[in-house]
Structure 1
Amino acid sequence: MKHLLLLSVVSIFSSCSSSLRYYTKDIHDDGRWTDSELKKIQFYLSDDIVLWRDINRGETEIINGKIRLVEGRNVEEVTIRKGTPGIFRFSPQKNHFAVSFDEKDDSRFLVFAPSREVDGRFVLLAKNWDKSYGKVTYGDKLFTTSNKSAFVFLMADIDKIQKTVVTSSIPRGRKVE
């Protein structure tokens, strides 16, 4: 009886476990989803993204972030954790996704696109990357992020978004009359 109960609990948890996979250009192209369909897909981050920016004197608005004193400067920092759910907002250009992770402000989004260097996975885009940092727009402000963020990928529950419909028939053949 103990084994049956344990087996039941394990099967319940395994059936509820998510099957997050990298969202890739191949998956996207195979799906041929419209923007309204993409809005129904729950996206996630493969890793943390940390954004920061210097706050000018007199500027005190902090939303979805925190202020800390760094070497005598005021810095606004936004951390979007691994596994944070996000939603597709719009496509600024072909195969580019504006994805929002902020539950209160639709203008706070990051842009992802497929990269050939990592098998077509959707990666974080920046206005520019140098050896150590990238510059990204988040809301109406320009933030800096570590170059590690260039390898943060969009993920999705692939089992839920890949549906194959097979229509089959078996002809009986034809006979000569």
Structure 2
Amino acid sequence: MYLTVATKQDIEKAGVDIKQVQFYNSEEIVLARQLSKGELKVAEGKVRIENGKSIEEIIIPANTPGICELNDEKTLKVSFDTGDGKSIPFLVERKGDMATSGSYFKIGAKKWERTARGQQIGKVDYQGQIYNLVRGANSRLMIDKSILNKVDRNTHVAKGRKL
């Protein structure tokens, strides 16, 4: 199920640490950046040559499990891979200027640009580098519905009292 502001509040009210919740991305996310010649050896993602340029791609398939590394009122930074700086921001989706309880957490970017073909490309800080968000601009955070059904029960059976 999609994570909404209300769902996040319900989880927190139940005393569950949001950093202990398993998250998933709703769509495939593809980050890409052009590499300089000196960076070719350092690239961790998949490298491909396109029009004579070296492009590094990071692919996060849909429904990849992730963990929350940063939690504040409007942003959750979720990491789908091990290593420093490998987290992606998900921001509360706004309807106009308002965030409502039904608002989803949608992938965020430092800046959005439109291509000549009208496609939205986001600029995302990942591993200390700026990547283009070439696929997954509408990706939202999801959680396993069973987290909402977790109940901590403290049971005590009385032994009775005799005279």
- TM-score w.r.t. length of structure 1: 0.72
Match of 2:46 in 1: 66
Identity value in percent: 32
Q: Output the CA distance in 1 between the equivalents of 2:13 and 2:43.
A: 36
- Determine whether 1:98 maps to 2:77: yes
| 1:84 is aligned to 2:64 | yes
Task: Return the match for 2:113 from 114, 124, 130.
Answer: 130
- Contact 1:100/1:106 (CA < 8 Å) preserved in 2? no
Letter in 2 for 1:109: S
- Looking at structure 1, the residues matched to 53 and 15 of structure 2 have their Cα atoms a distance apart, in angstroms, of 41
The residue aligned with 2:128 is 140
The structure-2 alpha-carbon separation of the partners of 1:66 and 1:33, relative to structure 1 and needing over 3 Å to count, comes to farther
Aligned 8 A contact 2:4 2:103 in 1:
yes
2:87 matches 1:109: yes
**Structure 2 length normalisation: TM-score?**
0.78
**Is this contact kept in 1: 2:3–2:141, CA < 8 A?**
yes
Per the alignment, residue 27 of structure 1 pairs with: 7
Report the Cα offset of residue 39 of structure 1.
1.5
Deviation of the 1:58 alpha carbon: 1.1
- Please give the alpha-carbon distance, in whole angstroms, between the structure 2 residues aligned to 1:84 and 1:137: 19
- For the residues of structure 2 that align with 1:162 and 1:109, how far apart are their CA atoms? 28
What are the ranges of 5 or more consecutive residues in structure 1 without an aligned counterpart?
A: 1-20, 166-177
Give the match's secondary structure for 2:122: strand
Deviation at 1:114, TM superposition (A): 1.6
Match of 1:121 in 2: 104
Structure-2 separation of matches of 1:125 and 1:55: 23
CA distance 1:79–1:44, change in 2 (3 Å): same
Alignment partner, residue 153 of structure 1: 140
Residue 153 of structure 1: how far off its partner (Å): 0.6
Corresponding pairs, count:
142
Give 1 or 2: higher helix fraction: 1
- Other structure's SS at 1:116 match: coil
